[in-house]
Amino acid sequence: EAAASLPVTAVDDTAQDGAQMVTFTCIAAGHLNGTTTLEVDDDGLDAPPIGVFINEIDTDQPGPDTAEFIELYVGEAAARALDGFVVVLFNGSQAANGAYAVIDLAGHSTDARGFFVLGGATVPNVSLVLPDSSIQNGADAVAVYRAPADAFRTGANPTPPSLDALVDVVVYGNGSGEDFDL
């Protein structure tokens, strides 16, 4: 045949690959063997971010509120995959300050400016829509961990805050008292 098509399966992982050379060798009876090389460029999304920082938060306000959000930034103006990172919301009103929400960032990426916004559907530039009133307005915390989501529990026996695998955290209050142990 003068031409042939064959599938090539690429792996998109967290390793920073850069340009990779792929060599094709064609062998056919009665013909000379042919070899060619193709350069494949990394799409840039699999390079791990420098860090994932909590840039800004707006918690649920008293009364009807649909504008709550958490804005993350990766430290540079570049699209970066957020695989391996998780946002955990901790409840300072609980005795153990346990997790009340765990948001897995696997499969999500920052925009070309390096930002990722989790929030209500009406929030401008929202990347991941959260249900209204998801981010409590008490003495609580928002944390980013480089860990699997299943490392954190909510509900009856919630995971307490930990420094293990912690990337960034913001502890905040609502003016009615501080939660010093959080």
* Dihedral of alpha carbons 99, 91, 60, 178, sign: negative
Higher pLDDT, 157 or 179: 157
Residue 16 CA neighbour count, 13 Å, CB half? 5
Task: Tell me what the mean pLDDT of segment 100-116 comes to.
Answer: 95
Q: How confident is the model at residue 140 (pLDDT cuts 50, 70, 90)?
A: very high
Q: How confident is the model at residue 108 (pLDDT cuts 50, 70, 90)?
A: very high
* Digit-coded pLDDT (tens) for 162-182: 999 999 999 988 776 677 778
**pLDDT confidence of residue 43:** 59
Distance from C-alpha of 5 to C-alpha of 182, rounded to nearest angstrom: 59
**pLDDT confidence of residue 167:** 95
**Quick one: what percent of the chain has pLDDT higher than 70?**
88
* Digit-coded pLDDT (tens) for 56-106: 999 877 777 778 999 999 999 989 999 999 999 999 988 799 999 999 999
Structure tokens at 75: 């430290």
pLDDT at 22 over 90: no
